A and B are shown apart, each in its own frame.
Chain A
């Protein structure tokens, strides 16, 4: 697996427009936004509150549609897909790491990690093997039967990462993945994301407020008022 991003854009935003109506007032978030992220890249998106980070992530995840413009990930045009098609596409091509982990508390760590695999034609035996492997990869071997409520925040986030990569997607979207963690746990999680990018070639887009977290990415995009104002390569 290559540890360098390719030149061909994997994620492409072209002339993307997005706005909301709040109390009858039209508020524009993006107007003519363009973005290229090559396959294998690890991009941190930073910006102040209200800059459009969440909207960008929502559109990347396909849970929101642009008002105009193109959004393509690989060969898939998300802007042309319906809700069901986007849902099916997400299941096979994307993993999401949430700020507050979003684990189902009544399911064990293994059952949480297994969720994306239930969407694929994979036998129960294969699912068990795959769950064991990814939990091992995130350093939680032997904790398969533990419930999230009995784990630390860092461990829960590692379960969240294991769930995101269980179905082996090309793209990982991370929404403030260290926002709820102490520094030590945050560093562990970020090291893991870097490993997934460098060793397994996953393309990662991470929204964060934390400059230290952003330093783990290959490059950082600064978003302000719906525009990228600065691009910085990691040292």
Chain B
């Protein structure tokens, strides 16, 4: 029995060690603003600083592509799930943020996980919470390309379609969002 335990423990340790070493080699999706200028970016197979090109619909059925980023100085993409309580809980106040900041060249755009399959539930939730910001239905393959695994995840994108800073995982307070937004708008 002791042998079995030792073998199992060694296997577990090996698994974790190899896992950690592998992770160091992985290029992380989130890239600092500073690296945009460096040459390294061009050498990457996928351009990680640019938000993935996409084609999807908004809730009214209009086609939407990455061109929407050019409509605003700063776009906040909030990826949420219809069964995710932290996502739902922050939506009322990010709606407020959208209302307060939209005259400053800012727009909040929601993206619901599950895309078209979640449309009815998403509409239901938007009605219940009296939300009016734009919400997109994108195929999950775009979320996978962005390496989004958790909800809520929030990206800030400039008018050139480049992701600013890191993806924000988890819900944060209204004040923290405003701080980040004002920080980006000032640049």
Do A and B actually bind?
Answer: no
Binding site for A on B (CB under 8 A): none
Using a CB–CB cutoff of 8 Å, the interface residues on chain A facing chain B are none
